[in-house]
């Protein structure tokens, strides 16, 4: 459990056996008079070395514009032995984060008053790249100046600073010596989407082995191909010698659709089609095999679905006998309806994949996957998806942050929204 602790009303007792016993959070830093005397300047480090921090918080679930607010607090310079003080460099805004605020995600938020909020609250955000400011005496894997990523969701990353307990287990460190080739925004997006694509491509059908046996790249098909996971699957597939069929929604104009298709082709996609093309009568048995794939013998055994509804059924119809569909999202908000014939006569299998659950079952493999993605990023073999950077400074208004969060689920976007922290 991670938390940023507010300035205590008295110094913590050295003999305290728990953080809860040693700290008493308060709602706000008590230094406005000092700021006025110094000409209104804002001090990053307040009296006695306390770090001033801000966080987006919510105390009840609902629409982001209605329930999110900014909370100001302070963090003591005296760290527990196994804790690390972090400064946030970049934090993505993922659809899952918004669903968590809304209360519709698979994992429900936990509420507490550890950072001094008037009501028990939660800090949203599952991904981030942090800079390590200082560490407790018992921390062995991090040192000041390193970068750090959450080792699992639930850390609460939409904040300027955080005090993270059990830092060695809660964070994936990137030493100062290994920062070359990485940007904070890229590193911040490495722990969910690329890892999701990695595991789905490797854990259900051994496409690499199929490629070796056939002497040519095995096929997979996916919808939502221009999403973060979709772009990651395209790149990883190309690196591993696989061939991909990628389904996207048509854009407002034919030119825009053609530009998107070309963008994904340049990224490594073998075939890019629109949802309308997928739904054409006879597409799976005719045009796909005869014209686009030009490969009637190679099986198509893996489909990655993040949409649901009719689009998912369209993918399933393209699979070869014995194929498997992995569902990791439901953007259409429609149920996945599969005719019995695909199960009985085609022997298709359907699975759900949630990277958060997978990571809890095998945290060591999760960490290894993240580190493998970072290695590809360092060498330029894996490119992060397009991003819309939202600057977050100490003076950034609450409304600006709320709008950035709310806009993530609205229409077509040029890239993932990412909070990029400036003077905080």
Considering its fold, how many domains does the chain have in total?
Answer: 2
| Same-domain check for residues 171 and 253 | no
Is there a domain that residue 13 lies in? no
Torsion of CA 374, 379, 380, 383, to 10 degrees: -10
Give me the pLDDT at residue 40, please: 37
Is there a domain that residue 366 lies in? no
For residue 411, what pLDDT band results from cuts at 50, 70 and 90? low
| Same-domain check for residues 38 and 131 | yes
Is there a domain that residue 374 lies in? no
Is there a domain that residue 6 lies in? no
CATH of the domain at 241: 3.40.50.720
Is there a domain that residue 11 lies in? no
Tell me whether residue 105 is one of the annotated catalytic residues.
Answer: yes
| Same-domain check for residues 288 and 164 | no
Domain boundary among 339, 356, 373: 356
Burial of 389 (0-12, 13-18, 19+ CB in 10 A): middle
Torsion of CA 60, 125, 416, 386, to 10 degrees: 180
CATH of the domain at 48: 3.90.180.10
| Same-domain check for residues 93 and 148 | yes
Give the pLDDT confidence of 341-359 residue by residue, as tens digits: 999 999 999 999 999 999 9
Give the pLDDT confidence of 262-282 residue by residue, as tens digits: 999 999 999 999 999 999 988
Strands (DSSP E) found in 58-139: 69-75, 84-92, 129-135
| Same-domain check for residues 23 and 117 | yes
| Same-domain check for residues 270 and 230 | yes
Domain boundary among 311, 336, 356: 356
| Same-domain check for residues 225 and 281 | yes
Give the pLDDT confidence of 129-151 residue by residue, as tens digits: 999 999 999 999 999 999 999 99
Is there a domain that residue 373 lies in? no
| Same-domain check for residues 217 and 161 | no
What is the percent of the chain with per-residue pLDDT over 90, rounded to a whole number? Answer: 79
| Same-domain check for residues 173 and 216 | no
Q: Are 109 and 155 in contact (CB under 8 A)?
A: no
Comparing C-alpha atoms, which of 192, 197, 270 is closest to residue 238?
270
For residue 251, what pLDDT band results from cuts at 50, 70 and 90? very high
Instruction: Exactly one of 50, 105, 204, 328 is catalytic; name it.
Output: 105
Is there a domain that residue 3 lies in? no
Comparing C-alpha atoms, which of 373, 394, 378, 333 is closest to residue 127?
373
Q: Kindly tell me if the per-residue pLDDT of 97 is higher than 70.
A: yes
Domain boundary among 317, 341, 356: 356
C-alpha to C-alpha distance for 112 and 117, rounded to whole angstroms: 8
Task: Kindly report the number of other CB atoms within 10 A of residue 9's CB atom.
Answer: 9
Domain range enclosing 351: 193-356
| Same-domain check for residues 198 and 100 | no
| Same-domain check for residues 40 and 60 | yes
Give the pLDDT confidence of 202-213 residue by residue, as tens digits: 999 999 999 998
Is there a domain that residue 309 lies in? yes
| Same-domain check for residues 396 and 277 | no
Task: Kindly report the number of other CB atoms within 10 A of residue 362's CB atom.
Answer: 12
């Amino acid at each position: 459990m991670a938390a940023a602790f507010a300035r205590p009303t008295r110094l913590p007792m050295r003999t305290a056996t728990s953080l809860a016993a040693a700290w008493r959070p308060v709602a706000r830093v008590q230094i406005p008079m000092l700021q006025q005397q110094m000409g209104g300047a804002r001090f990053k480090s307040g009296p006695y070395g306390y770090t001033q921090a801000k966080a987006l918080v919510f105390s009840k679930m609902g629409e982001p514009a209605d329930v999110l607010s900014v909370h100001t607090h302070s963090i003591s310079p005296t760290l527990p032995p196994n804790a690390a003080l972090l400064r946030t460099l970049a934090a993505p805004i993922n659809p899952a984060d918004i669903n968590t605020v809304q209360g519709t995600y698979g994992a429900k938020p936990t509420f507490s008053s550890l950072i001094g909020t008037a009501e028990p609250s939660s800090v949203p955000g599952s991904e981030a790249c942090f800079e390590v400011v200082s560490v407790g005496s018992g921390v062995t894997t991090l040192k000041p100046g390193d970068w750090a990523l959450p080792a699992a969701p639930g850390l609460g990353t939409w904040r300027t600073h955080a005090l993270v307990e059990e830092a060695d287990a809660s964070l994936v460190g990137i030493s100062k010596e290994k920062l070359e080739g990485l940007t904070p925004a890229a590193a911040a997006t490495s722990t969910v989407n690329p890892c999701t694509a990695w595991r789905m491509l490797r854990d259900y059908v051994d496409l690499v082995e199929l490629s070796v046996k056939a002497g040519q790249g095995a096929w997979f098909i996916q919808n939502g191909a221009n999403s973060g996971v979709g772009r990651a699957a395209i790149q990883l597939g190309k690196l591993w010698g696989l061939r991909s069929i990628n389904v996207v929604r048509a854009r407002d104009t034919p030119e825009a659709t053609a530009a998107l298709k070309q963008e994904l082709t340049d990224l490594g996609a073998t075939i890019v089609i629109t949802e309308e093309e997928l739904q054409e009568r006879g597409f799976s048995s005719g045009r796909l095999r005869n014209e686009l794939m030009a490969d009637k013998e190679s099986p198509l055994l893996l489909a990655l679905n993040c949409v649901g509804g009719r689009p998912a059924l369209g993918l399933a119809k393209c699979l070869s006998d014995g194929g498997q569909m992995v569902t990791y999202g439901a953007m259409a908000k429609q149920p996945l309806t599969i005719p019995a014939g695909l199960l009985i006569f085609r022997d298709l299998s359907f699975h759900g994949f949630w990277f958060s659950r997978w990571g809890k079952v095998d945290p060591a493999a999760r960490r290894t996957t993240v580190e493998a993605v970072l290695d590809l990023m360092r060498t330029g073999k894996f490119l992060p998806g397009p991003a819309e950077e939202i600057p977050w400074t100490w003076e950034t208004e609450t409304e600006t942050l709320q709008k950035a969060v709310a806009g993530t689920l609205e229409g077509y976007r040029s890239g993932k929204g990412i909070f990029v922290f400036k003077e905080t």
